[in-house]
Structures are given as structure tokens and as C-alpha cells.
Amino acid sequence: MTALSVLDLIPVRTGQTSAEAIAASLSLAETADRLGYRRYWFAEHHNMPAVASTTPPVLIAAAAMRTSRIRLGSGGVMLPNHAPLIVAEQFAALEAIAPGRIDLGLGRAPGSDPVITQLLRGSGTTSDVEQFPRHVQDIGALTSDEGATVRFTSGGEYTVRATPAATGAPEIWLLGSSDYSAQLAASHGLPYVFANHFSGQGLERALDLYRSGYRPSEEHPEPRTFLTVNAVAAPTQEEAEARALPQLRMMARLRLNKPLIALETVEEAQAAETDAAEQQVVEAARSRWFVGTGESVGAEAQAFAAAHGVDEIMLSPVAGAFEAEPRDAAGGRAQTLELIAEAL
């Protein structure tokens, strides 16, 4: 049976506050924990009107206080935005808060537009994107109980630890939608996740590069990978298609470099005019999404996992909300997780 996990970008819809959006997502994390989902990851995106997942470590800590079993992590921390030591310290602290339940997914992309990237780098706390492979290794060493060793050119050594007395470490995963991360994960003996929910292009090649080039490590003697997918489940196909529309329209705005707005409600999306370019993007994206009843989406997830040789699928529940639904509840997203879990 395919294990299921959840990726959350914390969508913010029309009229919804950040506080309400985060409250809805923390409630959704509780739902996933109760239903037996394997892990729950928060993405990192900046300055987007429809996305409130700006700081995964803070969100993970909040979710840890509301859950007891499910693994929690980042999907992912965009490493060039942060100093490796700070990331290591944050996730070592999270591992101490929720021992054995923390995943550290690392990505190489900035997660935002060039202006925000410049603002982040202007803070002086970021890292050089070209040093990404070394910084991944550094974080692994810093979060271990042995720590990392700094060697001075003048002689001598200095030990640095992300936390004084670690009894465990977060599990590091590399994320990506290109060949680069697949090959890097393979060469470092690390687990790898292909961001299929965002790209969908080059999936087979990336998995083949990862598996064929994998170099076993002590922690991971065999390659480990799973895939992300966008999913909407509802009692009827008609409702599922309606709930998928707001996110599909937002994806079109993003792909076509149109001004971004808060996520539309289902009613707003249905009433809006869509030009030919937008409709083309909507149809292309919809062809890759899993939208339907719990039974049909569950079957698609099982078949998708089998086709690509993975034992886990991470669902990004992209169900939109109707205007009358409470703003501090997950609504259609919770329904998606419940119906799929029931079907499997």
C-alpha cells in the first residue's frame, strides 16, 4: 500500500488573514496526524499574496505542538536564503522538540522573485548558491552529535555543534525539479524528492539519474525517493473540479507572469473570465493533477506510485474554498485528505 504524506504551502484566499490561514493549516496537520499520513511538510515561499508558508521552522514547531506521531519537515528550506549554521541550529532544536519526527528538506532555488532574493541576501545571513553541495554536507555534520570541525589555515581546529548534546538528527532530503538535485542526492547518498507538483517535466529522467548514480551512504544504503502531486478529492467529480479551479487559475497567473493575488474562492474563479493563454495553462496543469472522488484519486495515487517505483506519494491538497466556508478551517483540503485516506 502506498504511504501518503502532505505538502502545505498555506494558501491564503480572498478575505482571509494570515492568522486564519495558518490556523487552518495547523488544523490540517492535526487531521493528517489522526488519519495516519506519514509526514507533513511546509514549503518556503516569499512575498506571495496567496501563500503564507514563509518560514518552515516556525510552522514545524507550531505543528509539533499539535501532533504526536506524524513526521514534520520542510518542503523545503531554500538554502541559499539562509546561513547553513542557522538552518542547522533551527532543525537541531526542532529535533529536540519532536525527537525522531523531523525532516529537513533542502532546495537550491530562491523560492521568490529577484527583488526578494536581493533583500534576503542584503541581510548578510544567506549562503552562496554555488556552495550548495558543501553547505548540505556542513548541515549534516553540524546536526550530528559529533559536530563539524573548522580547520584554520594557521593551524588548529575548532568544533561547532548545532546543539550542545544531540540525541538524534533531522533526516536530510534534497528537493528539486531538475537533473541537478537528483545527481547531487545520488552522489551524497541522500534521499531525494522530485517536485512533480510544480514542474511535472523531466520526472523519469531525474529518477533514473538518481537511482543509476546512487552511491550508498551509512545512513542510506539504498536510494529513497518519493513524488509530490497536486490533489483534490470531493464526494463528486463536479465538486472536485470546482475546488481545483482557484489553484489552477493561480498557477496560470504565475506561469504567465501576471500580477499575483490572494487565492480566489470557488465562486470567484467560476465567475472570472479566462483568456486563451490562461486556459491553455489551466488545461495543461489539470492534466497532471489528481482530481476526483476519494476512490478515483486514491487509485491514481497508487498507480502513479507503482509506475515510478516509489512507496510514498506526497499530496499537495489544492482544494479551494467556497465563500461560505469558515476562514480558519481547512475545508476542502481536509476533505481531500479524509476521502483519500478512507479510500485506501
CB of 162 closer than 8 Å to CB of 88: yes
Helix (H) or strand (E) holding 104: strand 102-107
Lowest mean per-residue pLDDT among 49-63, 150-164, 226-240 = 150-164
Distance CA 154, CA 159 (A): 16
Class level of CATH domain 3-235+289-343: alpha beta
Distance CA 83, CA 252 (A): 33
In sign, the C-alpha dihedral spanning 300, 304, 306, 311 is: negative
- Cell triple for 292: 476526483
What's the pLDDT at 119? 80
- Using one digit for the tens of pLDDT, what is the confidence trace for 217-258? 999 999 999 999 999 999 999 999 999 999 999 999 999 999
- Using one digit for the tens of pLDDT, what is the confidence trace for 100-150? 999 999 998 766 677 877 787 766 556 666 788 999 999 999 999 888 888
DSSP structural state of residue 149: E
Range 142-169 average pLDDT:
88
| pLDDT of 87 strictly over 80 | yes
DSSP assignment of 206-267: HHHHHHHT----SS-SS--EEEEEEEEE-SSHHHHHHHHHHHHHHHHHHHTTPPP-SBPPHH
- Cell triple for 241: 473540479
- Using one digit for the tens of pLDDT, what is the confidence trace for 34-45? 999 999 999 999
Distance CA 264, CA 50 (A): 9
User: 55 vs 41, 238, 247, 251, CA distance in Å?
Assistant: 12, 35, 21, 22
Distance CA 266, CA 237 (A): 15
227 phi and psi angles, rounded to 5 deg:
-125, 150
Lowest mean per-residue pLDDT among 15-19, 102-106, 156-160 = 156-160
